[in-house]
């Protein structure tokens, strides 16, 4: 694309789209154009390389992030977060109406199969970057999933502890339970469930880095005989479990494999068992994965619509006991992660390089905005083989402690006819 033509097309596009806020954009030839409201506080950006104009116009969802990573797109006095927030508000709108969407068929065709070998490679791409990186921005328990802000003044550590307690209440763990944690991460949830009385907890992961840390933590906490962690794919498991939990793992399963995933859960769950599936979801019909996220952050990942999940659950002998939608909780989680990451940006650059820091700044910024302004939420699906596997009213979810919830569940069980 001719540079002059590309600049004109970009100028025309931005004049039409930027209505709220203000963008001051400096072009490669030094010319500056103001877009939007002149009285607003400006976001000042610069495109330093003319070749990137055509690239951005042809594929903005991929190329804007790449331009920022490579230093071809820079911000003068504000951050990439402010630029993405401006773009999201103007082009996508608060309801995300212009986001890339498609049919369930399209999402499956674009994603392709996800056999165990590919699943392990995809997990290693992100989760085997090293514990040192994740310790820069996660809470002390290394929870790399949506926190639960039961109060707006909670710290990140408090909100992650509240998330684990909320999940434990939904599982209603009782002494003697055998528990499976699919996608156990660094082991914090599995270890917490063991402390609540579960007699045998198996955590599985595809990340060798996470596995080593989880096993070390189990030994250090004196739970090595009660909690076991394995490098395993969920499709390889057999046996029966009283409780099954999966947090932040379904996003890596792939739309082609939902039937297989839920069928395996149904097969592994005991007759009076409870499963809790915690996953990022979309509030729109099925769509496709953002190409920048797929290339650089979560290869093979896909965020499902609720309709895509329910059609598979309905075909199995599983009852939906409860569905909860956590809306802005992940936006607040990501905001806390990004602040911590940027506070430790020098250490992240020492581990990798400045380009990596810009890549993760873009990832954390864009992800937060997808929850704050877009169509992303978190679904918690509570499933069981029996309708009376948990109490009939939701009061037990808001008791003082998970132990109280287990007592309530046990009381409900004794009242079954």
Q: pLDDT tier at 98 (50, 70, 90 boundaries)?
A: very low
What is residue 411's predicted lDDT score, i.e. its pLDDT?
Answer: 59
What is residue 79's predicted lDDT score, i.e. its pLDDT?
Answer: 95
Could you tell me if residue 272 is inside a domain? yes
What is residue 100's predicted lDDT score, i.e. its pLDDT?
Answer: 44
Q: pLDDT tier at 417 (50, 70, 90 boundaries)?
A: very low
Which of 302, 301, 129 lies closest to 208, judged by CA? 129
Please name the residue that has the structure tokens 């082991």: 187
Instruction: List CB contacts of 10: < 8 A, sequence separation 6 or more.
Output: 53, 56, 57
- For residues 189 and 248, the answer to whether their CB atoms sit within 8 Å is no
| Range 143-153 average pLDDT | 96
On whether both 84 and 201 belong to a single domain, the answer is no
CA dihedral 152, 91, 17, 85 (to 10 degrees): 30
Query: What CATH number does the domain containing 401 carry?
Result: 3.40.50.150
What is residue 317's predicted lDDT score, i.e. its pLDDT?
Answer: 83
What is residue 26's predicted lDDT score, i.e. its pLDDT?
Answer: 97
Query: Is the pLDDT at 90 greater than 50, yes or no?
Result: yes
Domain end marker among 92, 120, 143: 92
Strands 376-384 and 269-282, by their bridges, are antiparallel
Percent of the chain with pLDDT over 70: 87
On whether both 85 and 176 belong to a single domain, the answer is no
Percent of the chain with pLDDT over 90: 76
Could you tell me if residue 270 is inside a domain? yes
Alpha-carbon span 240 to 82, nearest angstrom? 49
Helix (H) or strand (E) holding 121: helix 116-127
Burial class (CB in 10 A: 0-12, 13-18, 19+), 347: middle
Burial class (CB in 10 A: 0-12, 13-18, 19+), 344: middle
Query: Is the pLDDT at 324 greater than 80, yes or no?
Result: yes
Answer with the residue of higher pLDDT: 69 or 414.
69
Query: What CATH number does the domain containing 22 carry?
Result: 3.30.1050
Q: pLDDT tier at 9 (50, 70, 90 boundaries)?
A: very high
- For residues 208 and 124, the answer to whether their CB atoms sit within 8 Å is yes
Alpha-carbon span 288 to 108, nearest angstrom? 9
What is the per-residue pLDDT across 196-243, written as a single tens digit (0 to 9) for each? 889 899 999 999 999 999 999 999 999 999 999 999 999 999 999 999
Domain end marker among 69, 92, 115: 92
Query: Is the pLDDT at 307 greater than 70, yes or no?
Result: yes
On whether both 109 and 85 belong to a single domain, the answer is no
* Three-class DSSP category at 177: coil
Phi, psi for 322 (deg, rounded to 5): -165, 145
What integer best gives the mean pLDDT of the chain? 89
Domain total of the chain: 2
Please name the residue that has the structure tokens 């099925």: 286
Query: Is the pLDDT at 405 greater than 70, yes or no?
Result: no
Strands 32-36 and 178-182, by their bridges, are unpaired
What is the per-residue pLDDT across 32-75, written as a single tens digit (0 to 9) for each? 999 999 999 999 999 999 999 999 999 999 999 999 999 999 99
Structural domain boundaries enclosing 83: 3-92
User: What pTM was estimated for this model as a whole?
Assistant: 0.90
Could you tell me if residue 362 is inside a domain? no
Q: pLDDT tier at 2 (50, 70, 90 boundaries)?
A: low
On whether both 116 and 72 belong to a single domain, the answer is no
On whether both 123 and 251 belong to a single domain, the answer is yes
What is residue 3's predicted lDDT score, i.e. its pLDDT?
Answer: 61
Q: Where are the beta strands (DSSP E) in 301-406?
A: 319-326, 376-384
Q: pLDDT tier at 107 (50, 70, 90 boundaries)?
A: very low
Asked which of 74-78, 110-114, 153-157, 170-174 is least confident by mean pLDDT, the reply is 110-114
What is residue 197's predicted lDDT score, i.e. its pLDDT?
Answer: 87
On whether both 260 and 305 belong to a single domain, the answer is yes
What is residue 96's predicted lDDT score, i.e. its pLDDT?
Answer: 45
Could you tell me if residue 359 is inside a domain? no
Could you tell me if residue 223 is inside a domain? yes
What is residue 106's predicted lDDT score, i.e. its pLDDT?
Answer: 40
What is residue 5's predicted lDDT score, i.e. its pLDDT?
Answer: 84
Alpha-carbon span 69 to 49, nearest angstrom? 13
Answer with the residue of higher pLDDT: 98 or 37.
37
């Amino acid at each position: 694309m001719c540079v002059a033509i590309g600049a004109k097309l970009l100028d025309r596009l931005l004049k039409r789209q930027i209505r709220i806020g203000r963008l001051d954009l400096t072009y490669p030839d030094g010319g500056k154009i103001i877009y939007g409201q002149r009285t607003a506080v400006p976001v000042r950006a610069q495109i330093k390389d003319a070749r990137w104009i055509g690239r951005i116009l042809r594929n903005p969802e991929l190329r804007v992030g790449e331009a920022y990573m490579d230093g071809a797109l820079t911000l003068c006095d504000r951050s990439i977060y402010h630029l993405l927030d401006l773009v999201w508000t103007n082009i996508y709108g608060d309801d995300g109406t212009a986001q890339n969407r498609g049919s369930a068929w399209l999402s499956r065709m674009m994603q392709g199969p996800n056999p165990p070998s590919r699943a392990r490679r995809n997990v290693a791409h992100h989760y085997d970057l090293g514990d040192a990186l994740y310790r820069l921005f996660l809470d002390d328990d290394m929870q790399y999933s949506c926190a639960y802000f039961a109060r707006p003044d909670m710290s990140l550590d408090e909100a992650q502890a509240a998330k684990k307690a909320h999940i434990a209440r939904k599982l209603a763990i009782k002494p003697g339970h055998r528990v499976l944690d699919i996608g156990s991460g660094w082991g914090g949830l599995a270890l917490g469930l063991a402390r609540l009385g579960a007699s045998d907890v198996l955590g599985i992961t595809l990340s060798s880095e996470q596995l080593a840390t989880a096993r070390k933590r189990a030994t250090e906490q004196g739970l090595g005989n009660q909690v076991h962690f394995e490098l395993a794919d969920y499709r390889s498991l057999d046996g029966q479990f009283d409780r099954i939990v999966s947090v932040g793992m379904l996003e890596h399963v792939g739309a082609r494999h939902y039937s297989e995933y839920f069928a395996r859960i149904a097969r592994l769950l005991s007759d009076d068992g409870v499963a809790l599936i915690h996953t990022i979801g979309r509030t729109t019909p099925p769509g496709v994965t953002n190409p920048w996220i797929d290339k650089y952050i979560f290869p093979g990942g896909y965020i499902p619509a609720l309709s895509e999940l329910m059609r598979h659950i309905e075909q199995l002998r599983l009852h939906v006991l409860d569905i909860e939608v956590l809306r802005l909780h992940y936006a607040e989680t990501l905001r806390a992660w990004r602040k911590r990451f940027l506070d430790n940006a020098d250490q992240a650059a020492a581990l990798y390089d400045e380009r990596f820091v810009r890549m993760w700044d873009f990832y954390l910024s864009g992800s937060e905005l997808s929850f704050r302004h877009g169509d992303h939420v978190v679904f918690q699906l509570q499933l069981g083989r029996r309708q009376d596997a948990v109490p009939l009213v939701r009061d037990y979810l808001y008791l003082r402690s998970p132990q109280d919830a287990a007592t309530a569940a046990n009381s409900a069980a004794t009242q079954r006819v």
